[in-house]
Amino acid sequence: MKGNTMRIYSAIQPTGCITIGNYIGAVKNWIALQNDNECLFSIANEHALTVRQDPEAFRERTTSFFAQFLACGLDPEKSVLYVQSNVPEHSELQWILSCMAYVGELDRMTQFKDKSRKNEDNINAGLLTYPVLMAADILLYRADLVPVGKDQKQHLELTRDLAIRFNNRFGDTFVVPEPYIPPQGAKITSLQKPTDKMSKSDPDGKATVSIIEPRDAILKKFKCAVTDCDNSIRFDPEAKPGISNLLSIYSAFSGETVEAAVQRFDGKGYGTFKMAVGETVADALAPIRERYEQYLANKDELARLMKDGAAKAHAIAAETMKDVKAKIGFVAD
């Protein structure tokens, strides 16, 4: 921690694409946090290995995600931006923490059960130990706060348990992290199944909108967005989940309140409304896409920024591991 600032850690897996849901729910909050805190933001490509990956596509997608971080406004001068696999201390600490975690507590993880059901042909050990790697990610940097969604709360509880368990056994070593609950933003759902969360890895291409999609593709997806047969535009997530989702998206990208948007489109048809939402999103994302293409066009600069970020993360991680190794009785190297 620097002075009175807080150290904040968060990460995102390079699967699928960074959607407008990820942008509104996570990345925009990260951009605000980096101004007044010491932040580390990682592309968690080691976590993504629990699902089979095509190596070349995986490598390209990881690089793409890093460029998207930069294009969104995450600043390598304000935050530490890096790729997880470029800092070997992550997996090194994971093994040590795995020897302190109990199979029973890992087996109880809701995400392990859910993902096992969805991937019956690939229930690998990584699915079970995934939360220990997440704990290593956080504890390695002695983070004070971790932004968490509902699906990660159980993992953060395990992280806290492991930190306390290690500290009790070997002395004060890790910061016991607290959850950071960001200001309540809009919950963005699928354009095709508006009762489901918009997911990076949704196989239905029409259900999600990437932050780097071409304008025509964005407009086409909103034109095809699922609504209902009521034809009235009002915010009612229970009765009208599709229209309510579109109102939330419009509000998030236009800066207009949902109430004002309802008045604006009162009496207008669904076609007019959906086109307006699509155009608002496309206009807002155009600068991000432009910056993204500029970063991708300069691969040398992108590689330099990735290397610099990894070096900064490594410097912090190495200090933690030096302390951990001494306390557990490893021979000094």
Specify the 3-state DSSP secondary structure of 15: coil
Q: Are 45 and 84 in contact (CB under 8 A)?
A: yes
Residue 325 is a catalytic residue: no
Q: How far apart are CA 156 and CA 11, in angstroms?
A: 13
Give 142's DSSP letter: T
- Scored b (16 or more CB within 10 A) or e, 110-133 reads eebeebeeeeeeeeeeebbbbbbb
Any catalytic annotation for residue 2?
no
Residue type, 74: L
Name 189's bridge partners.
Answer: 197
Catalytic hit among 197, 312, 322, 325: 197
- Using an 8 Å Cβ cutoff, are 212 and 289 in contact? yes
Exactly one of 28, 187, 193, 200 is catalytic; which is it? Answer: 200
Q: Is 200 a catalytic residue?
A: yes
Residue 43's DSSP bridge partners are: 12, 83
Q: Which residues are catalytic?
A: 115, 197, 200
